[in-house]
Structures are given as structure tokens and as C-alpha cells.
């Protein structure tokens, strides 16, 4: 049980290494746009159909409220998914049937499948937020903006998840994850 608790703590530490950015970003978006902020301008320049928005006559700051809301909800959902996925794997790794040397490598395939499912969920969430009709603000996004959001989300949340499981996976099962066996044998890890 102690091993599992230690795994959970290590997973959370791993998640926190990059995850704080997502948390901070979600909070920033939840607060809504500030007319002077660079972020508001960056969104306008890189994520949305700026010409269409300009021609609509609507002040961008007014329209941006719903986009901020969309991004806050999306990043929260993605971070939550990464946290849950990392915890599931880290806790689950303690229950893998590794009873002989070298057997952990056999579970690499399990990890790949699990990670694939996680990435699929990340993709699905990004699609749901940016391309489905659930959020009105999705209309504002340009194709380039959707691609940018998708690419950053996939890479970033993979890294958040990966760092979580890298630290949190049971020591005897580390060979089942990518570069897991490269971690130094340390009592703290």
C-alpha cells in the first residue's frame, strides 16, 4: 500500500512539473479577457478568423469572452484526463504480473495501448471543443487555429501524462514504459 501511495505522490509530482502551466492557463482563461492583454491579441492573430471577426463589427474583446470560456473548459478537461490517465497507469502498474526478470518489457505493449487510448481521448476532447457545434465560440476559430490548438494539446498533454507516469510507475514495471529504465535507481524514485 505504501508503494502505491508513494506512486501516487510521485505521479502528482510528475504531473505538476508541466501541468501547472495548464492549470495556470485554465485559470487565466476562466477569468476572461482583459482588453490590454497580449494573450487576447495573440488569440486574435493566431487562433481565430480575424478578418471575419473584424468585418462582423463586433469588438473582439466582447466575442473573446466565449472563446476564453471554451479554452478554460477544454484545458481543464484535458488536464483532468491527463491526471486521471497517469494515476490509473501508475496505480495499475503495481498490479502487473511481473514475476520474472525481463517480463516488464512485455507490458510495454499494454502501455502503448493505454497511452493510445489516452491520446485518442485527448484528440476527441479537442475535436469536441473546437469542431463540434457544442460551443458557439468554436465558430470563431480558424483552421490554422484548430490545428495549432490540436498540435499543442496533443504534445503538451502527452508530456504532462508521460512525466506523471515516468515518476509514478511501480519501480519493477518501469521497463514497460518508454525510457522508464533510464531513470536512476534511487530510493526516492
List residues near another protein by CB under 8 A.
52, 54-59, 62-63, 66, 133-134, 136-137, 139-140
Residue 68 sits at φ, ψ, to 5 deg, of -60, -45
| Smallest gap from residue 149 Cβ to another protein (A) | 18
Q: Nearest CA to 67 among 123, 154, 130?
A: 130
Q: How far is the CB of 57 from another protein (least distance, A)?
A: 4
Select 41 or 136, whichever has its Cβ closest to another protein.
136
Minimum distance from CB of 143 to another protein (Å)?
13
For residue 46, CA distances in Å to 79, 133, 146, 148 come to 22, 21, 10, 8
Query: What cell numbers appear for 29 in the block?
Result: 482563461
Closest distance of CB 61 from another protein, Å = 10
Of the two residues 134 and 181, which places its CB atom closer to another protein in the complex? 134
Q: In this complex, which beta carbon is closest to another protein, that of residue 36 or of residue 62?
A: 62
Nearer to another protein, 2 or 132 (CB): 132
Cβ proximity to another protein: between 23 and 61 the closer is: 61
Q: What is the DSSP string of 65-110?
A: HHHHHHHHHHHHHHHHHHHHHHHHHHHHHTTS---STT-GGGGHHH
CB 19 within 8 A of CB 82: yes
CB of 136 to another protein, least distance (A): 3
**Which conformational region is residue 32 in: left (phi greater than 0), alpha (psi within -120 to 50 degrees), or beta?**
left
Amino acid at each position: 500500500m505504501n508503494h502505491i501511495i508513494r506512486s501516487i505522490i510521485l505521479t502528482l509530482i510528475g504531473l505538476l512539473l508541466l501541468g501547472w502551466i495548464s492549470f495556470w492557463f485554465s485559470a487565466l482563461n476562466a477569468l476572461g479577457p482583459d482588453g490590454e492583454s497580449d494573450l487576447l491579441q495573440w488569440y486574435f492573430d493566431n487562433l481565430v478568423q480575424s478578418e471575419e471577426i473584424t468585418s462582423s463589427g463586433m469588438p473582439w474583446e466582447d466575442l473573446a469572452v466565449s472563446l476564453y470560456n471554451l479554452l478554460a473548459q477544454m484545458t481543464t478537461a484535458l488536464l483532468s484526463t491527463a491526471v486521471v490517465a497517469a494515476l490509473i497507469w501508475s496505480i495499475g502498474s503495481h498490479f502487473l504480473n511481473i514475476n520474472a526478470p525481463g517480463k516488464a518489457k512485455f507490458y510495454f505493449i499494454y502501455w502503448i495501448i493505454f497511452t493510445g487510448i489516452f491520446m485518442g481521448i485527448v484528440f476527441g476532447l479537442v475535436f469536441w471543443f473546437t469542431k463540434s457545434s457544442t460551443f458557439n465560440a468554436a465558430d470563431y476559430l480558424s483552421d490554422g487555429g484548430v490545428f495549432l490548438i490540436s498540435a499543442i494539446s496533443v504534445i503538451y498533454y502527452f508530456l504532462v501524462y508521460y512525466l506523471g507516469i515516468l515518476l509514478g510507475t511501480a519501480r519493477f514495471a518501469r521497463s514497460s514504459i518508454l525510457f522508464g529504465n533510464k531513470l536512476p535507481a534511487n530510493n526516492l524514485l
